[in-house]
């Protein structure tokens, strides 16, 4: 039992350390455009008016896959922010793995508190 507990704790600490080192963000930006095209593996790109701190070659862009379980929510939030000219804050993975763009893992619509 102690070994199982130790392994579980170790894996939790390891995953949190990996996660904490791989995040980036943009706070209170405006959506400039939302785009996709058929030959890009079902990816939606969100272009913003502010640069993020992800270190990717296109610093004003985030992306997500349409197969992502939260894709409908991300798309609704991005389109709402674009249509209303409202603020949006996005958290992503700084790995730049999606066509040299950060992949979204959270969107906040409205003022970031």
In a domain, 35, yes or no: yes
CA distance 67 to 6: 35
In a domain, 10, yes or no: no
pLDDT bracket for residue 81 (50, 70, 90): very high
Average pLDDT of the chain, as a whole number: 82
Question: Domain limits at 105?
Answer: 23-109
- For residue 66, being part of any structural domain is answered with yes
Q: Residues 90, 22: contact at Cβ < 8 Å?
A: no
Q: What is the pLDDT of residues 89-98, one digit of tens each?
A: 999 998 898 9
- Report, as an integer, the average pLDDT of 6-28: 54
CATH code of the domain in which 98 resides: 2.40.50.110
Total structural domains in the chain? 1
**pLDDT at residue 37, as a whole number:** 74
> What confidence tens digit (pLDDT) does each residue in 19-34 have?
444 599 999 999 999 9
In a domain, 17, yes or no: no
Has residue 1 been placed in a domain?
Answer: no
Q: What distance in Å separates the CA atoms of residue 15 and residue 55, rounded to the nearest whole number? A: 22
């Amino acid at each position: 039992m102690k070994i199982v507990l130790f392994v579980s704790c170790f894996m939790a600490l390891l995953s949190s350390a990996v996660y904490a080192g791989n995040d980036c963000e943009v706070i209170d930006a405006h959506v400039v455009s939302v785009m996709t095209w058929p030959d890009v593996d079902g990816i939606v790109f969100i272009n913003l008016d502010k640069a993020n701190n992800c270190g990717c070659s296109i610093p004003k862009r985030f992306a997500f896959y349409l197969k992502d379980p939260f894709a409908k929510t991300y798309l609704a939030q991005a389109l709402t922010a674009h249509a209303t000219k409202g603020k949006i804050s996005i958290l992503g993975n700084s790995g730049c793995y999606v066509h040299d763009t950060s992949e979204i893992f959270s969107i906040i619509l409205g003022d970031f508190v």
